[in-house]
Amino acid sequence: MSSISLRQIKKSFGGLIILHSIDMEIEKGEFVVILGPSGCGKSTLLNVIAGLDECDEGQTVIEGKDVSGLEPSERGLAMVFQSYALFPAMTARRNLSFGMEIAGTPKATVAEKVAWVAKLLQIEALLDRKPAQLSGGQRQRVAIGRALVRSSSICLFDEPLSNLDAKLRAETRVELKQLHETLGSTMIYVTHDQIEAMTMADRVAVMHKGKVEQFAHPQSIYEKPASLFVAGFVGSPAMNFIEGRLDGSGRFVTGDISVDTGDYAFEEPWASGDAVLGVRSEDISVVDCGAPRSIPATLAFTELLGADALGWFDCLGKRFSVRLGIEAARSMRKEVGLRFNMATASIFSKATERRL
Ligand SMILES: Nc1ncnc2c1ncn2[C@@H]1O[C@H](COP(=O)(O)OP(=O)(O)O)[C@@H](O)[C@H]1O
Ligand SMILES: [Mg+2]
């Protein structure tokens, strides 16, 4: 049985469709990240699951039970928001215990749970401080703790790390992932940050304009993006794109250049028509100018990144990023050839923007 099933979820605000028929099956214990740019409907989807927003059509099923008409408190979920929403007048301890006290949980149990979560999140020394006396990261831990003491088997997170600085964000990301492994609960985590998605998720749902464009393991999202949008959104530097057409006999043609697609695993054999070829910076090799199966290119500049480097080349009227070793970057010639590895490239239909 899935932990959460979303069936044909539709939602509009003021005549504008925000969620178009979302279907998703989330397994028990899975860490699912909903990834997409600002405004694509991530929070709306999470709020529909939590019951904070009502959908216009569709069903939300949690652990086999249709919860569509139920109040948030009746759904057995815990939620952590971007704004920590702690009570400013209460100590961290009271922020953790308040919900349980309201629910009439016995005092001894409340104390036990607060002690458990404080140890788990390493905030024992902070329990008597008020939110104003805590750093952003510490406040976020208290907010996470408050969700965890509800001991629900499902936790929802809406961009919980976006108010933290980069270093703390990276640390908390790892801690959250470890927490997921310790607790084994189902987690749905919303973010616009692809690094969070790639590092934390068992599966990533990439959203664009109210639709889920791909729902898959992070590595397959990276290696085999299902659409042009997913290809451009995931990965840094962004994938290089070349517009052209498939000639129906296994070649991708752009201007007077034609590339053999023989090594490419088409999902639709003998595809033809207008297409976009996508190659990541690590799927391009630099060869001698005029070498077979290469396209002439001119080095614009290189960027040293510490462990490796990026070369930026002008080629086919566009600028291409190519991943290079440090030594190669230092000794790069100006006029070279670029060769694409078609086995790891992506080809999309220009009309449907889907992978071919
Ligand atoms: N309560 C609301 N009333 C009207 N429009 C809303 C409301 N909530 C969200 N929206 C609109 O829905 C779209 C998606 O919002 P949201 O789900 O918050 O996106 P995300 O979390 O991906 O940034 C946005 O265009 C936003 O303006
Ligand atoms: Mg949001």
On whether the CB atoms of residues 22 and 212 are closer than 8 A, the answer is yes
pLDDT at 278 over 80: yes
Q: What's the 39 CA to ligand 1 centre distance in angstroms? A: 6
pLDDT at 127 over 90: yes
The CA distance from 23 to 63, in Å, is: 16
Which residues surround ligand 1 with Cβ inside 6 Å? 13-14, 18, 36, 38-44
What mean pLDDT comes out for the span 257-285?
92
Q: What's the 123 CA to ligand 2 centre distance in angstroms? A: 27
For a pocket test of ligand 1, which of 9, 12, 13 has the largest count of ligand atoms closer than 8 A to its C-beta?
13
Q: What's the 174 CA to ligand 1 centre distance in angstroms? A: 29
For a pocket test of ligand 1, which of 43, 47, 233 has the largest count of ligand atoms closer than 8 A to its C-beta?
43
Residue whose C-alpha is closest to residue 73's, from 98, 114, 103, 39: 103
pLDDT at 271 over 80: no
What mean pLDDT comes out for the span 7-20?
96
Residue whose C-alpha is closest to residue 318's, from 255, 274, 272, 262: 255
Q: Band of the pLDDT at 51, cuts 50, 70, 90?
A: very high
Q: Which atom of ligand 1 is nearest to the CA of 40?
A: 22
Q: Which has the higher per-residue pLDDT, 85 or 217?
A: 217
**3-state secondary structure (DSSP) of residue 152:** coil
**Which of 80-94, 117-131, 251-265 shows the lowest mean pLDDT across its residues?**
80-94
Computed over every residue of the chain, the mean pLDDT equals 93
Q: Which has the higher per-residue pLDDT, 186 or 1?
A: 186
The CA distance from 33 to 203, in Å, is: 7
For a pocket test of ligand 1, which of 12, 18, 49 has the largest count of ligand atoms closer than 8 A to its C-beta?
18
pLDDT at 161: 87
Q: Which atom of ligand 1 is nearest to the CA of 42?
A: 22
Q: Band of the pLDDT at 343, cuts 50, 70, 90?
A: very high
Q: Band of the pLDDT at 79, cuts 50, 70, 90?
A: confident
What mean pLDDT comes out for the span 83-112?
90
pLDDT at 137 over 90: no
Residue whose C-alpha is closest to residue 31's, from 141, 189, 140, 162: 189
Q: Are strands 203-208 and 31-35 parallel, antiparallel or unpaired?
A: parallel
What mean pLDDT comes out for the span 22-36?
97
Q: Band of the pLDDT at 340, cuts 50, 70, 90?
A: very high
Q: Band of the pLDDT at 268, cuts 50, 70, 90?
A: confident
Residue whose C-alpha is closest to residue 181's, from 197, 195, 166, 202: 202
What mean pLDDT comes out for the span 177-186?
90
List Cβ neighbours of 21 (8 Å cut-off, separation of 6 or more): 8, 9, 10, 58, 211
Residue nearest to atom 4 of ligand 1 (CA): 13
On whether the CB atoms of residues 194 and 239 are closer than 8 A, the answer is no
Q: Band of the pLDDT at 81, cuts 50, 70, 90?
A: confident
Q: Band of the pLDDT at 118, cuts 50, 70, 90?
A: very high
What mean pLDDT comes out for the span 88-94?
94
Residue nearest to atom 9 of ligand 1 (CA): 44
The 3-state DSSP composition of the chain as helix, strand, coil percent (nearest 5) reads 30, 35, 35
Domains and CATH numbers, the chain: 4-232 (3.40.50.300), 238-349 (2.40.50.100)
What mean pLDDT comes out for the span 168-182?
87
Q: Band of the pLDDT at 167, cuts 50, 70, 90?
A: confident
Residue whose C-alpha is closest to residue 347's, from 210, 254, 243: 243
pLDDT at 336: 98
Residue nearest to atom 26 of ligand 1 (CA): 39
On whether the CB atoms of residues 49 and 43 are closer than 8 A, the answer is no
CA distances from 81 to 137, 139, 189, 200, 203 (A): 13, 12, 10, 18, 21
Q: What's the 259 CA to ligand 1 centre distance in angstroms? A: 43
What mean pLDDT comes out for the span 181-190?
93
Q: Band of the pLDDT at 28, cuts 50, 70, 90?
A: very high
Tokens 């028990």: give the residue. 28
List Cβ neighbours of 70 (8 Å cut-off, separation of 6 or more): 51
List Cβ neighbours of 37 (8 Å cut-off, separation of 6 or more): 192, 208, 233
The alpha-carbon radius of gyration of the chain (Å, integer) is 24
